[in-house]
Amino acid sequence: MQPAVELEELGRQITEASGFLEKGERALSQRIIGQHEVIRRVFIALLANGHILLEGVPGLAKTLIISTFAAAMNLKFQRIQFTPDMLPADLVGTMIYNPKEMEFYPRKGPVFANVILADEINRSPAKVQSALLEAMQECQVTIGSETFPLQRPFMVLATQNPIEHEGTYMLPEAQVDRFMMKVMVDYPTYDEELEIMLRSATTASEEPLKAVLQADDIFRARALIDRIYVDPRVQRYIVDLVVASRKPAQYGMVELEALIEYGASPRASIFLLLAAKAHAFMQHRPYITPEDVKAIAYDVLRHRIRPGYEAEADNIRPDDIIRQILQNVQVP
């Protein structure tokens, strides 16, 4: 247990350092109407050094959110449109032969940026999707026999359309598991859609968005997030949630055994802790509570739990399973 004086001082530093988040949210609200929860999840992933898979039907501003976010953060942005004929070299780069000097040199691909938008990632086959694995896990890319570090901060935000399956490919499980969160992007409310329509009904071009943040703000925030206190009871609560997704009968949920084909991996425990710390930071707190864990549990777990055949027959989704786990696992 950290002394109360240390926590109080850490809380003061967090309150002071987290002020940049409000600036960022205000900057994004100049272009984005609604989608506040999605924007907060993007900030959480950035603070926790994670990646996000965004899923939603076309036209919900997924691409606009990401490009605006990068502009507001003054980060190098690269949009990569995934297509069926794409090759791994189109993503990471390749070695080019220079006949004059009679040697090969690397030509770096678009993945060498701070914020990568992998647009419609499920439109490319597994060999292309897997080209992102090293970048997402190790923050580096190997081209030929050379390995190149990527710029930091580095994050991948991938989008996919849940209603169109023709010409798409299932993401490899190893790829999916490396995304910290899977965020569902929903339709705007009636009033939000009215404002979207009125604001967009103009031929005038928008003024460039001014950057309000710097990379140093992110690194300072991450250093403080590492110091956020986590009570041992909350640590065990996180592990209980993850283990319950694999062995629900141990937690009194016998009926879930037949509904889950496989549960969350150990990465879920790591990402739950990191995301909960980032969530507490955004609430200006020097410690995390079970409520921080619950707030991001659906986003961290939904793509790591695969319902079995019985669940699919009864139209039971991962979110339904997570809801039962949160209701039945004892909260400290």
Q: Which distant-in-sequence residues (6+ apart) come within 8 Å of 254 by Cβ?
A: 248
* 72 in a structural domain: yes
* 222 in a structural domain: no
Tokens of 70: 């990068």
Are residues 13 and 86 both part of a single domain? Answer: yes
What are the angstrom distances between the C-alpha of 249 and each of 201, 234, 244, 260? 55, 21, 8, 11
CATH (domain of 93): 3.40.50.300
* 180 in a structural domain: yes
For residues 159 and 27, the answer to whether their CB atoms sit within 8 Å is no
Are residues 163 and 257 both part of a single domain? Answer: no
Q: Which domain holds residue 239?
A: 229-328
Are residues 102 and 24 both part of a single domain? Answer: yes
Domain count, the chain: 2
Are residues 13 and 141 both part of a single domain? Answer: yes
In this predicted model, what pLDDT tens digit does every residue of 240-260 receive, in sequence order?
Answer: 999 999 988 888 888 888 888
218: number of CA atoms within 13 Å, CB side? 24
In this predicted model, what pLDDT tens digit does every residue of 107-134 receive, in sequence order?
Answer: 888 889 899 998 888 888 888 877 888 8
pLDDT over threshold 80, residue 211: no
Structure confidence at residue 204 as a pLDDT band (50, 70, 90):
low
* 316 in a structural domain: yes
* 224 in a structural domain: no
In this predicted model, what pLDDT tens digit does every residue of 7-63 receive, in sequence order?
Answer: 888 888 888 887 778 888 888 888 888 888 888 999 999 999 999 999 888 888 888
Please name which of 48, 301, 51 lies closest in space to residue 180, comparing C-alpha atoms. 51
- Helix 36-47, helix 62-72: angle, nearest 10: 50
* 223 in a structural domain: no
Are residues 122 and 34 both part of a single domain? Answer: yes
* 124 in a structural domain: yes
For residues 222 and 215, the answer to whether their CB atoms sit within 8 Å is no
In this predicted model, what pLDDT tens digit does every residue of 135-144 receive, in sequence order?
Answer: 888 888 888 7
Are residues 22 and 164 both part of a single domain? Answer: yes
User: End of a domain among 216, 251, 269?
Assistant: 216
Are residues 131 and 13 both part of a single domain? Answer: yes
Are residues 23 and 114 both part of a single domain? Answer: yes
Are residues 199 and 241 both part of a single domain? Answer: no
In this predicted model, what pLDDT tens digit does every residue of 179-199 receive, in sequence order?
Answer: 999 999 889 889 988 988 888
Q: pLDDT value at position 3? A: 66
Are residues 112 and 184 both part of a single domain? Answer: yes
Are residues 174 and 264 both part of a single domain? Answer: no
User: End of a domain among 187, 216, 245?
Assistant: 216
Are residues 175 and 46 both part of a single domain? Answer: yes
* 146 in a structural domain: yes
CATH (domain of 283): 1.10.8.80
If DSSP codes are grouped into helix, strand and coil, which group holds residue 52?
strand
| Exposure class string for 162-173: b at 16+ Cβ within 10 A, else e | eeeeeebbebee
CA atoms of 188 and 140, how far apart (whole Å): 37
pLDDT over threshold 70, residue 70: yes
